[in-house]
């Protein structure tokens, strides 16, 4: 699969990936396991820390009380990656560090356990950008706090760890602040089959992919295995792109998020033309604004997995305010999607189908 793509210098973007042959939409271009990964803190009790499967009941690590597994097989397979982390977690019970701190620590442990680098790696960790020079002082301060937390977290493995890090890690990864910055700028959100976030991971070669608001590729996950698939036909020498953010949003909102999170201004064709903004804001503003203003509360219900409350609120708003708003409106579409998610989680399949059918013409 690696023969289908190659690294190149993308004009105005720096490093990138492009196709070496013609590619059909739907085709698998690349698959990779993470160099390091971890389950999101808010899902530590619901997702296996080895295979990233959701389970109603999971076995808990008797030592750190944090890691959970499907069964003894998953637990045994995870031990080589978990044993050093386990000591660190024990030292902070009942606190758990942030996802980025845990991921950075797992990255250090993974690098220390590697005998040799992967010969197929297109992009090494040493080459990854930290972008510290482009960050605001406020963001640097936030990362500095995470770096201090990382040092505290790793104390359980000291003093021998410091010497190991110096001898085994690339120079730019030995400084905690630089490492945390690289992790936060280059990690990928790992999603389940319903595109719900379940963890974060580092996939070095795929960090070469640049952003487009109308990308020609998409990433999907099977457990922690990341698969890059084409969603458009791609010509030889054409750059491969993904979207770093949710594409179902207005140009102004997309650009703001990209500037704040990834430190660049998007100049893609979709941003320059703003071709879908008018459609996404169709209808009377005084009416659709009621839907927009309700979304933060609905997001809270979703984050808390309160599916009954989410469905009740969405159903009420869509059947009252929503009837006077076109289906193409961004905020009505988001609310319809939330109702669909809630129905799926509640096993109300007929209702889920109804909401799904309403969204299809709009997406098309």
pLDDT digits (tens, 9 = 90+) for 285-311: 999 999 999 999 999 999 888 999 999
From 305, 307, 281, select the one nearest 292 (Cα to Cα). Answer: 281
Looking up tokens 């996939």 gives 203
d(CA 287, CA 328): 14
| Cβ-Cβ contacts under 8 Å for 146 (sequence gap 6 or more) | 98, 100, 101, 180, 184
- Among 23-27, 41-45, 155-159, 258-262, the range scoring the smallest mean pLDDT is 155-159
CB-based contact 100:139 (threshold 8 Å): no
Its pTM stands at 0.87
Q: Using 50, 70 and 90 to split pLDDT, how confident is the model at 26?
A: very high
User: How far is CA 80 from each of CA 32, 33, 60, rounded to the nearest angstrom?
Assistant: 20, 16, 16
- Residue 337 has which token pair? 């999607």
User: How far is CA 153 from each of CA 3, 53, 102, 143, rounded to the nearest angstrom?
Assistant: 40, 26, 9, 15
d(CA 340, CA 357): 10
Where is mean pLDDT largest: 10-14, 157-161, 167-171, 226-230?
226-230
* 364 or 172, greater pLDDT: 364
CB-based contact 291:242 (threshold 8 Å): no
């Amino acid at each position: 699969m690696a023969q289908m793509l190659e690294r190149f210098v993308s004009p105005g973007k720096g490093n990138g990936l492009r196709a070496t042959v013609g590619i059909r939409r739907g085709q698998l271009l690349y698959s990779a396991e993470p160099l390091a990964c971890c389950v999101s803190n808010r899902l530590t009790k619901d997702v296996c820390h080895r295979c990233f499967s959701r389970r109603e009941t999971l076995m808990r690590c008797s030592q750190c009380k944090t890691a959970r597994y499907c069964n003894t097989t998953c637990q045994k397979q995870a031990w080589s990656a978990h044993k050093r982390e386990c000591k660190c977690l024990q030292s902070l019970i009942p606190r758990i560090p942030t996802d980025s701190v845990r991921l950075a620590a797992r990255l250090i442990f993974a690098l220390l356990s590697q005998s040799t680098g992967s010969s197929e790696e297109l992009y090494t960790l040493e080459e990854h950008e930290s972008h510290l020079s482009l960050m605001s002082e406020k963001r640097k301060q936030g990362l500095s706090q995470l770096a201090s937390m990382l040092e505290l977290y790793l104390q359980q493995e000291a003093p021998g760890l410091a010497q190991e890090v110096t001898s085994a890690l690339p120079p730019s990864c030995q400084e905690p602040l630089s490492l945390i910055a690289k992790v936060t700028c280059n990690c990928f959100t790992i999603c389940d089959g319903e595109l719900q976030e379940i963890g974060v991971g580092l996939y070095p070669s795929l960090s070469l992919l640049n952003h487009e608001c109308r990308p020609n590729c998409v990433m999907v996950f099977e457990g922690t295995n990341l698969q890059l698939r084409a969603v458009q036909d791609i010509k030889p020498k054409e750059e491969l792109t993904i979207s770093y953010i949710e594409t179902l949003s207005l140009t102004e909102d997309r650009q703001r998020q990209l500037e704040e999170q990834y430190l660049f201004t998007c100049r893609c064709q979709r941003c320059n033309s703003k071709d879908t903004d008018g459609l996404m804001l169709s209808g009377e503003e005084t009416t659709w604004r009621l839907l927009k203003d309700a979304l933060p509360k609905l997001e809270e219900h979703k984050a808390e997995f309160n599916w009954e409350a989410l469905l009740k609120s969405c159903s009420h708003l869509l059947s009252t305010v929503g009837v006077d708003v076109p289906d193409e409106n961004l905020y009505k579409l988001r609310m319809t999607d939330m109702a669909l998610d809630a129905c799926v989680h509640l096993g109300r399949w007929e209702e889920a189908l109804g909401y799904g059918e309403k969204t299809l013409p709009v997406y098309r």
